[in-house]
Chain A
Amino acid sequence: MKGTIASRERAFALWLFLPALAVLVVTTTFPLIYLGWSSVNRIDLAMPWNSGFAGAENYTKMVADPRFWNSLVLTFIYTASTVVLQVLIGLGLALLVTQIPRGQGLLRVAAIIPIVLAPVVVGLFWRTLVLAPDFGVVDFVTRALGLGSYNWLGDPQLALMSVIAIHTWQWTPFAFLVILASLAALPPDIFEAARIDRANGWRRFWYITLPLIRPAIVIVVIMRMMIALSAFAAIFAATGGGPGTATEILNLYAYRTSFTELNFGYGAALAMVLLAITLLVSFVMFRLRRAQ
């Protein structure tokens, strides 16, 4: 009798879970298999007569493609710098804000605004109101300070820096909120004890606070890396990957190859590389977290 109850329990659990599993297999795993298949095919809608199985052709082409290596380097710079900036600024701010006796709530509310905005709208805001030459606010400030006028998104030297700034602007509040919540959850008596032991501010931070909030920082790093690797809309809106290929991270290169140049086989191969990088990073991160 007992066995049947247990097995009925298990069947019930399965029936509740199966629809989600089925939908996810159909909507994510199957498309990825198709992506893999596309990447070993020639699918060029500009030259449809050329289609067919291509073997490793798209991949060997990639190795010799300077634009691919450029996008890889940009992806690395973009991901590393945005994550580091978000964590450092977010952590610094959270530590500062805990010292403020009042008005914390106001900052917490303000932090939500960048986070909830659509990245594409953020990109457009920055492209027009903030960074546009002559009319943007930043240009007004630099001119007023006598630094001159810059084409922040149109100059290849500045464009990468600008899109990094945009991403950092939108997502630092995330790091700030998560770290702030983690700081708020720390037991106050630890700090009392440290104060009695006459540990100074820096030592208190390094030996007590930081180890305690490390899990929160790790979470922020992992999640922000994933988001930065798949960042698209804000860059697309601000620069479209340009000027030239100055802000063309791998994501944008795969998009442009597929949907502008209509070379879906090569675009799929590029997306496969991005997929591999993402999975590798999440695997390593997962291992690191487990080791902690």
Chain B
Amino acid sequence: MKGRSVASASLIAVAGVVLTLWTFPVLWALLTSFKTERDVLAYPPTLVFSPTLANYRDVLFGATTILPNLISSFIVSVLATALTMLIAVPAAYSLARLDLPAKRAGGFYILATQMLPPVGLVIPYFLVLQKVGWLDSYKGLVLIYLTFSLPFAIWLLVSYFEDIPREMEEAALIDRAGRLRALLYVILPQVRGGIAVTVVFVFLNAWNEFLFAVVLGGNTVRPVTVAMFNFISVEQTLWAKLAAAAIIAMAPVILLGLIAQRHIVKGLTVGAVKGGGRR
């Protein structure tokens, strides 16, 4: 009996350590964001300090404001998400349920596009967008964001469309509702949960994107992931401001992640069920 309680105590200890490890950087950043730059550099690191909101004030409204960057991120992410959903929903329905010619090949092509290394895409995008003058523009960035969001959204939505009972649409068809009306008024309401989850993930991935943003963005379109580097230079690192900016930038995705918590495994393994794929 005694061995058992020792075992379960050590289990709980391991779980506690893991819990700390996973949450530590965010919690530490949160703590740091309330420190003055001087308190940050105290050795040993201190837990006792008089908290200040000055970093948040500076990062939002001061000289080092990331507000324009948050707006950039928001515009790119919303546009990319809207466009993605507009194209992905019908395509996913077609792949999941309709008599689409060359269905396997089509599905496979979409899966393949999901696996492309981003650096292989960003080089030609840079060269071409530079020629047509689309660098540092929302259209250029939204276009390249489609390369990862569209395949992802299609495959995630397919898995939700496949869950609808076939009788639903058959009933709608017998009512002579017509194909498109059946999709709009009978099928889509059935998958609205899946659509919501897909929107969350597409938005999250777009918000977190960095490589495309740093190469194809500029002074006008400068998402917040790129702006994080404002606080780091060769001469000095503004630790507390960086922490505050990172907390603000990551608050939306942490919130979305927690809201979509129960769906995250499905969202992460999308496409894999059909034979491999990327997030």
Which residues does A use to contact B, with CB under 8 Å? Answer: 6, 9-10, 12-14, 16-17, 19-21, 23-24, 27-29, 31-32, 34-35, 38, 43, 93, 96-97, 99-101, 103, 106-122, 124-126, 128-130, 132, 134-135, 137, 140, 144, 169, 173-174, 177-178, 181, 219, 222-223, 226-227, 229-230, 232-233, 236-237, 251, 254-255, 258-259, 264, 267-268, 271-272, 274-275, 278-279, 282, 285-286, 289-290
Contacts and interface: CB of A to CB of B under 8 A. Distances in A.
A134 B225 contact: no
29 contacts: A6-B99, A19-B90, A31-B121, A31-B128, A32-B124, A100-B15, A107-B18, A108-B261, A112-B257, A113-B22, A114-B22, A116-B254, A117-B208, A118-B208, A118-B209, A118-B225, A125-B28, A128-B232, A137-B24, A226-B279, A227-B279, A230-B278, A233-B225, A255-B119, A255-B211, A271-B117, A274-B117, A282-B115, A285-B276
B246 interface: yes
A117 B45 contact: no
Contact of A258 (B126, B180, B204): B126
A107 B11 CA distance: 13
Main secondary structure of the interface of B (DSSP, over half): helix
B168 interface: no
Please provide the 6 A-B residue pairs with the shortest distance between their CB atoms, ordered closest to farther. Answer: A116-B257, A20-B91, A13-B98, A118-B208, A16-B90, A16-B94
Contacts of A108: 261
B119 A115 contact: no
Nearest to A290: B275
Contacts of B78: none
Contact of B26 (A113, A120, A137): A113
Contacts of A255: 119, 122, 211
B32 A27 contact: no
B257 to A, nearest CB: 3
Given A13-B98, A96-B15, A110-B19, A128 B118 contact: no
A130 B116 contact: no
A135 B41 contact: yes
A100 B12 contact: yes
B87 A178 contact: no
B36 interface: no
Contacts of B125: 31
Interface stretch (B48-56, B58-66, B145-153, B188-196): B145-153
A28 B14 contact: no
Nearest to A35: B124
Interface in B232-279: 232, 237, 239, 242-243, 246, 249-250, 253-254, 256-258, 261, 264-265, 268-269, 272-273, 275-279
A290 B276 CA distance: 10
Contacts of A101: 8
Interface of B: 8, 11-12, 14-15, 18-19, 21-26, 28-29, 32, 40-41, 43-45, 87-88, 90-91, 93-95, 98-101, 106, 109-110, 112-113, 115-128, 143-144, 146-147, 150-151, 154, 179-180, 204, 207-211, 215, 225, 228-229, 232, 237, 239, 242-243, 246, 249-250, 253-254, 256-258, 261, 264-265, 268-269, 272-273, 275-279
Contacts, number: 281
A145 B253 CA distance: 36
B15 A103 contact: yes
B269 to A, nearest CB: 6
A228 to B, nearest CB: 11
Given A32-B120, A173-B22, A219 B272 contact: yes
Contacts of B229: 237
A21 B24 CA distance: 43
A149 B122 CA distance: 39
Contacts of A122: 25
Contacts of B144: 27
A97 B254 CA distance: 23
B124 A31 contact: yes
B268 to A, nearest CB: 6
Contact of B115 (A134, A178, A279): A279
B76 to A, nearest CB: 13
B146 A27 contact: yes
A130 B124 CA distance: 36
B237 A223 contact: no
Contacts of A38: 123-124, 127
Contacts of B98: 9, 12-13, 16
Q: Considering residues A135, A144, A264, A290, which has the most beta carbons from chain B within 10 angstroms of its beta carbon?
A: A135
Contacts of A272: 120
